[in-house]
Amino acid sequence: MSRRKWALPRCIESSFIESRMRFLKYAVFVIGVAALAVLAIRAGMHEVVSTLAALGWGGLAIISLLHVPVIVIMGVAWWSVGRGAASPRIFVAARWVRDSVGEVLPFSQIGGYLSGIRAATIAGVPLQAAALSMVADLNAEFAAKLPYVLVAILSLMAVLPGDYLIRPILAALILIAVALSVAFAFRKRLIAAFENATARMVSRWLPEREVRLDLGHYFARDRFLPACSIHLVMWFFGTLEAWVTFHLMGVHVSVVEALAIDALGTSFRSVGFMVPAAAGVQEAGYVLVGLAFGLPPAQGIAFSLARRARDLVVGVPGLVFWQFLEAKAFRKPVSAP
């Protein structure tokens, strides 16, 4: 018999793949939560709870309010690459939704990105502009993180020469730098390949539309470089957030130590971006980096949980706001053709 006769119908095959991916996603999330529980138990639950209790509701309110400007300014960075499609406040709102879904719900970071695109399109940004500007914004955010991590490594080398973390981190940074250099050298070909792949994908979904993409437009210097600068400032602002959080928990660290812990800890989270909410990955990162500065594992876990609590305080209203946008779009009357 021919292979075509034995081939699964496309809809059944697609549904099967989606169900398997969904199962894998939740399985990874459960494993991450279990790893977090094991870390907390081994570190000492009493020490973790007592460190968090020192933060208190007042401290949680302070670090949550301190994070609000970060979301706003990162939304402006997104607008920098996508300006002309909508006002800055729409990109700020979409960034709020994007971070809320990625941090609060048991999805991978990709789920947050898609939700941000959805929120932007509901608010009036064309789908093509929302998606391509987000690609450029993600690249700007990643590019800005490299000098931040480099400064953190240099600080770590100055404060703790010969530390066990330096060599593997330097090796990873060199590999990333080489990959970025290659990507920059062939950027025109990569952009063209991405445009073609995206056009084919959209054409399959919306065959009645003519798809024309111009990703290079969003990587123009007057758009991309301001976004990189904004993200770089926000990465360094994360040092202040880390320093304030530690001191509110009664853990005294220097600014240099806060810089290294925040930069390298968030790098661990970036590695586990496919793990929903980076469960367990984020905590392991803060524990490992904290150990380099003599922080007990309980304090590293408490710091990570404090950040998760902050994300809940800021993110839950973001989810409510997203549902408000969805309800508003649902009630909007469809104009007659």
Across the chain, which has 337 residues, the per-10-residue mean pLDDT values are 44 44 49 52 62 87 96 96 90 95 76 88 88 88 86 78 64 66 66 62 51 71 93 95 94 90 80 60 77 82 89 93 86 54
pLDDT value at residue 127: 84
| In-domain check, residue 184 | no
In which domain, by residue range, is 228 found? 25-162+217-326
Strands (E) in the chain, as ranges, are none
283 located within any domain: yes
What single-letter DSSP state applies at residue 251?
-
Q: What pLDDT is attached to residue 195?
A: 61
DSSP state of 275: S
316 falls within a domain: yes
Q: What is the pTM of this model?
A: 0.77
**Total domain count, the chain:** 1
Residue 208 falls inside a structural domain: no
Cα separation, 293 vs 253, in Å, equals 9
Whole-number pLDDT of residue 14: 42
What is the spatial distance between Cα 253 and Cα 242, in angstroms, rounded to a whole number?
9
Domain assignment present for residue 132? The answer is yes
Predicted confidence at residue 98, as pLDDT, reads 93
**Neighbouring C-alpha atoms within 13 Å toward the C-beta of 50:** 8
318 within some domain = yes
Please report whether residue 199 resides in a domain.
no
Structure tokens at 110: 């990709």
Provide CB contacts within 8 A for 318, sequence distance 6+.
96, 97, 99, 100, 101, 104
Q: Is 131 inside a domain boundary? A: yes
**CA separation for the pair 263, 257 (Å, rounded):** 10
CA distance 153 to 173: 10
